[in-house]
Chain A
């Protein structure tokens, strides 16, 4: 059965007709061509499909598109704006925290949600927050390091911002996840 949904995806209002059984993941990928969230298991075990739903990290394979109606969705595509990367994206690059890249979008999205909740996470905080994002390539070490590094950068930027130096060029969608 089809339902009409209205939601905001990466800051853009979207209205669409979807089958009730369509997951948010499939809607984002097939309906909106946002293929950054990946299908790795379709049962909430791998985390490759992670997106933010009203700022919370969720496995989009376990959310029906109809459940997301009226809500805000942020995907990996919404974390950067034109050429301005999210600090996590920069840190993943500089820490060699990427290999095949399939888990990377989900990993960054989960980490973004963590840093929003805990700007200064401990090693244990990072490991626990990312335990639902499986990676078979990296051994996680450089990913965890990248998250710490991005956290430090974001704290520094926030304190500079507090002194009246507005974070110029910061992508709009970042506000939502880093604010």
Chain B
């Protein structure tokens, strides 16, 4: 039986006190004896053959303890596609590709020694754009692609730059297109952007004299780090131990494996010493990972009612130099290519292309913000071109119960209600079609959908145990890097066992030697997966407590309930406080029963099925969908092109609001991060040199307090998720998906221009307005209907 009061209420963060006092320790805050410092020798070339690496001089420098390079560590790593070595061996593939590394007694000595490593390169022709990358005869970034180890559901094409290609073939696209009333084709682009977590990546490693590897790292996934380190260095998992203290933001950039192999490689050459590899903010931008770029070509055929009949989606992903993780974004974008809509006839192709740019990887939304940028503008354009209200057009084509996704999965009534989200935000912003229009003020809407993109067997587990005073300790290995996992875990457990949240301690900084297994903290899956494992654990604990209490009280265990920190027999009013049960119950005569109460439980998504390799049709390719929508009102300064987001409304069907303060925080945070990528962020790469041109916080701007919209209104729909803990489903990533597209649509509404390539900068808007004016004057008429201009 479920008590109430702890779910849906503002329980303060359980890690909050540590974080406001400065007590919370992040990886760089940890103290290690005689720490060694790392500097990395990075490729200055975007693409080159490595002819020779000479490290002798560096090794001879005073204070240097180890110098390692590619020939020392030839094994490949990569979470889905093993296409990367610790250091470049025969070839470098982007400016920043690690070639060698030094561990030294001081950071200065490490840097000096790194400068003494001599590398001979033979430059090769680089490619930076996806169009170049897929062209016949393009230089190959990975000539050995065909020999790489890869999971069965990722399909690299040997002899090309294509690291994955997912095809969706649903219905009969060609016939449907031929039969369409009107057809629209548009191209949209998204550049590479960087995560910019406030805490840059850092990993500390030691290999002890017995050969056991120990790592402290700022990472989203301790067990995946362990798994990949073991593979990369040919070790037993049993000899690799990974600790993750508090993490200062990740947003996908700390998923999978990042700095850890370099730290471990050095540690192997100076056993017994701790080696810390901490990138500076500049390296963070170009040498860790970035979000992939996208070129999306969409074709939409509609019938006279406004129903989309034929939809083609061609997504070309700029994966950068390595695609070990990015290949799954390509896949995810493929099976979600139709967004929140029902398209009966689909031709979808999601293609990942290697280039000589920084490495693409997971980023909050996992491809979804990028494809929604294209899809949601396309939907708007089509609606307006056929004279329909964009809100009505969306509702007409929206997915919902009984409708089929692009993979042919028919949604049931538990799947979430995008229609309610659309109506909520449209009402909030006032998008009724008859509204009074003000020049250079506009309103726009965009939907969002995402499923967890993960292997079908991605699992979470928890260990629950009691201290003597009945404090409940919960060990998890999901990472709370801000989203509030530790707090919601405490809430679920407290609710299920009817104990105060204050009696729960969530051990949220995992240690793979001691913590239960968790696949990764990604995919907006933790509240859902770990939450489910916690509820299962609570049930096991309840059963054990009731069994012991039943025996102690001489009543059937089935008649007992947990209430207010005690096991209660309602019929007789007798009860036992948990503190008398958790370590075993002792009878008056001295004999004891039961024993320390604990549980170990897990959750693994059930019934997931692979996609068909040719058509990607599958009745259940993913565990769940979370739908939502955002609408914005903006004003445009027509002379400067500056866009101000005045108000923004967001609504998501989250199944169940577990903690209103935390979920609002996720939503505000997502909106503002979305506003950043939508309006100001782009990692610029010089196509002559391959170098990142704005790899600093001075040159790459993320939103500050002053950029936040004056008003952000957040609403939630609660259609319970059938397999969600107390009905909850994931929300972390979804909050940043629709923001840029909603702004783009509002921009069109405000002044009749479209920016097809993110971000919507003032200068682009200014140019588009000028172009529109020029076109109008050439046509000799003032445009009565806003003209569509692509900037």
Contacts and interface: CB of A to CB of B under 8 A. Distances in A.
A65 interface: no
B198 A102 contact: yes
Interface string B694-706: 0011100011111
B482 A137 contact: yes
Secondary structure of the A contact surface, majority rule: loop
A101 to B, nearest CB: 3
A9 interface: no
Most buried by A among B20, B665, B672, B706: B20
Interface residues of A, number: 55
Contacts of B703: 140
A128 B706 contact: yes
Given A40-B281, A93-B17, A140 B199 contact: no
Contact of B22 (A42, A45, A105, A134): A105
Contact of B671 (A37, A80, A139, A144): A139
Interface in A18-62: 29, 33-43, 45-46, 48
B366 interface: no
B191 interface: no
A142 B706 contact: no
Interface string A70-99: 000001110110000100010011111111
Contacts of A136: 195-198, 249, 251, 669, 673, 702
B665 A142 contact: yes
A21 to B, nearest CB: 9
Given A137-B669, A139-B708, A142-B664, A98 B198 contact: no
Contacts of A97: 665
Nearest to A76: B22
Secondary structure of the B contact surface, majority rule: loop
A156 to B, nearest CB: 20
A167 B29 CA distance: 34
Interface string A103-134: 11100100000000000000000111011111
Contact of A89 (B21, B198, B484, B705): B21
A92 B16 CA distance: 8
A85 B16 CA distance: 12
A139 B19 contact: no
A170 interface: no
Interface residues of B, number: 57
Nearest to A30: B31
B21 A103 contact: no
A135 B198 contact: yes
B50 to A, nearest CB: 30
Contacts of B668: 138-142
Contacts of B673: 136, 139
Nearest to A102: B248
Given A35-B29, A76-B21, A100 B705 contact: no
Contacts of B662: 96
A72 B514 CA distance: 43
A134 B484 CA distance: 20
Most buried by B among A40, A80, A102, A139: A139
Give the 4 A-B CB pairs with smallest separation, nearest first. A36-B22, A102-B248, A99-B482, A96-B661
5 contacts: A35-B28, A36-B23, A45-B697, A100-B199, A101-B19
